[in-house]
Amino acid sequence: MPNNSLGRPTVCFIDHDALRWNMRQIRAKVGAKIKILCMVKANGYGHGATAVSQTLTGSGADAFGVATMEEAVELRQAGMSAPIIVLAGVFPDQLGELISNELVPVVYDVEILKQLDAEAQRRQKTLGVHLKIDTGMGRLGVLAADAKEWIAELKNLRALKLEGVFSHFSHAESVEGDYTRKQLAIFNEVIAQLRAQVLAPPLVHFANSAATITMPAAYFDMVRPGIMLYGVYPSAAMASQIVLKPVLSWKTKILQLKKVPSGASISYGQTFVTKRESLIATLPVGYADGYSRLLSNRGAVLVGGQRAPIAGRVCMDLTMIDVTDIRNVQQGDEVVLLGRQGPAEISADEMAAWTNTISYEILTSVGARVPRIHYNT
């Protein structure tokens, strides 16, 4: 792992060999014929979208998925030439930029379909789109139950080219349940209707990470893995099915080390009062870096290969830890917030459990103030 010489030592290290490894596992799972759309929305799940996409391009990514047009333009400007699908909303006034950057928006409602088609016709341009079908996620998408109506509209399109059709599972951590099977059955029914009318596009897709790992019936032409690319399992049980390597680790260094007497109050609001003479370390990281305030008096970090609990409230820029029980701690020592140190590890899942959230939110919440240092092992 490279040395951080940027000054403030609170940084994320992004392991591109681990990223390549995870991509190889996905390819091995799905085989050579299924395309892989790599989800790099939200700044590559917090890892740095451009750098991650460059590495994934070299590892055989067939397409990229982002949430916003701005995220897509960033990738195009960085030289990514693969198809980029904009998944979380399209607005008619974005048409010019979508066309000039060869981006593929997702459409999810008949009105938008018509508006985009009219606007593209007016400009005498064509635009490829993917149609999202709501099979039970209850989010974006035309309702499968309304298929007759929107299939009729598909026949009227002049300037829009239907390149893909897809859906999204409601369950991201496991796809073993009845509800998932029901979603898949509804989707298969819609695809059959499209095929019957010779309207099925070349790319049919459904699988998130969980389905990529455990549900080949949901592969169709392309899978859309996100969290597993970054080395995090959709659920702990899936570790027996595929070996993934965490890509991100988050580190800092001890800023100040202080011996305080018993009865000393640490941080805002006196929520932590020492019960003995204690050694308290102050770290240059806080909730403005995305280090959740919910970790106050709950989370832990790694120092010298051991766990040290967070003492008192996480502040905006600083956090205190109790290192009384760790030997030979020095000012400037490395502290791991997320990742490995010797035999010890704090995973995104563990941190998520401390803050009552999911690994996705942990990774995507690391702030813009924290530099990402990209490296190969």
Ligand X SMILES: Cc1ncc(COP(=O)(O)O)c(C=O)c1O
Active site residues: 41, 268
Structural tokens at position 45: 């799940």
What per-residue string of b and e applies to 143-176 under the rule 16 or more CB within 10 Å gives b?
Answer: bbeebeebbeebeebebbebbbbbbbbebbbbbe
Least separation in angstroms between residue 213's CB and ligand X is 9
Query: Which range in 16-24, 221-229, 336-344, 349-357 contacts ligand X by CB under 6 A?
Result: 221-229
Task: Kindly state whether residue 180 participates in binding ligand X, applying the rule CB under 6 A.
Answer: no
105 neighbors 127 (Cβ within 8 angstroms): yes
Within 265-294, which residues bind ligand X (CB under 6 A)?
none
In sign, the C-alpha dihedral spanning 363, 131, 56, 217 is positive
Query: Which range in 224-232, 264-272, 320-328, 349-357 contacts ligand X by CB under 6 A?
Result: 224-232
Task: Kindly state whether residue 29 participates in binding ligand X, applying the rule CB under 6 A.
Answer: no
Residue whose entry in the numeric block shows the structure tokens 């018993």: 262
Counted residue by residue, the chain has a size of 377
Of the candidate residues 190, 227, 266, 346, the single one contacting ligand X (CB under 6 A): 227
Q: Which of 313, 298, 292, 297 has its CA nearest to residue 250? A: 292
Query: Which range in 48-56, 109-117, 180-188, 222-230 contacts ligand X by CB under 6 A?
Result: 222-230
Write phi, then psi, for 175 (nearest 5 degrees). Answer: -120, 30
Of the candidate residues 4, 10, 54, 208, the single one contacting ligand X (CB under 6 A): 208
Least separation in angstroms between residue 186's CB and ligand X is 16
Least separation in angstroms between residue 231's CB and ligand X is 12
Q: Under the phi-then-psi rule, with left for phi > 0, alpha for psi from -120 to 50, and beta for the rest, what region is 283?
A: beta
Q: Which of 88, 98, 48 has its CA nearest to residue 67? A: 88
Least separation in angstroms between residue 247's CB and ligand X is 13
Residue number with CB closer to ligand X (30 or 308) = 30
Q: Which of 280, 320, 316, 281 has its CA nearest to residue 297? A: 320
Of the candidate residues 51, 172, 294, 353, the single one contacting ligand X (CB under 6 A): 172
Least separation in angstroms between residue 67's CB and ligand X is 8
Task: Kindly state whether residue 225 participates in binding ligand X, applying the rule CB under 6 A.
Answer: yes
Residue number with CB closer to ligand X (164 or 226) = 226
Structural tokens at position 141: 């998408």
Least separation in angstroms between residue 252's CB and ligand X is 27
Q: What is the largest CA-CA distance in the chain?
A: 78
The DSSP result for 108-132, as a single string, is: -SHHHHHHHHHHHHHTT--EEEEEE
Within 234-253, which residues bind ligand X (CB under 6 A)?
234
Task: Kindly state whether residue 39 participates in binding ligand X, applying the rule CB under 6 A.
Answer: yes
Least separation in angstroms between residue 289's CB and ligand X is 23
Query: Which range in 154-162, 218-226, 307-315, 367-375 contacts ligand X by CB under 6 A?
Result: 218-226
Structural tokens at position 298: 């709950």
Structural tokens at position 201: 């596009």
In sign, the C-alpha dihedral spanning 369, 3, 42, 73 is positive
Task: Kindly state whether residue 34 participates in binding ligand X, applying the rule CB under 6 A.
Answer: no
| Dihedral, 81, 90, 230, 101 alpha carbons, nearest 10 | 10
Least separation in angstroms between residue 225's CB and ligand X is 5
Within 85-114, which residues bind ligand X (CB under 6 A)?
87
Number of residues that bind ligand X (CB under 6 A): 11
Task: Kindly state whether residue 226 participates in binding ligand X, applying the rule CB under 6 A.
Answer: yes
Query: Which range in 55-63, 91-99, 219-227, 267-275 contacts ligand X by CB under 6 A?
Result: 219-227
The DSSP result for 7-51, as a single string, is: SS--EEEEEHHHHHHHHHHHHHHH-SSSEEEEE-HHHHHTT-HHH
Task: Kindly state whether residue 168 participates in binding ligand X, applying the rule CB under 6 A.
Answer: yes
Residue number with CB closer to ligand X (9 or 44) = 44
The mark string for 112-151 relative to ligand X (x by CB under 6 A, - otherwise) is: ----------------------------------------
For binding to ligand X (CB under 6 A), which residues are involved? Answer: 39, 87, 168, 172, 208-209, 224-227, 234
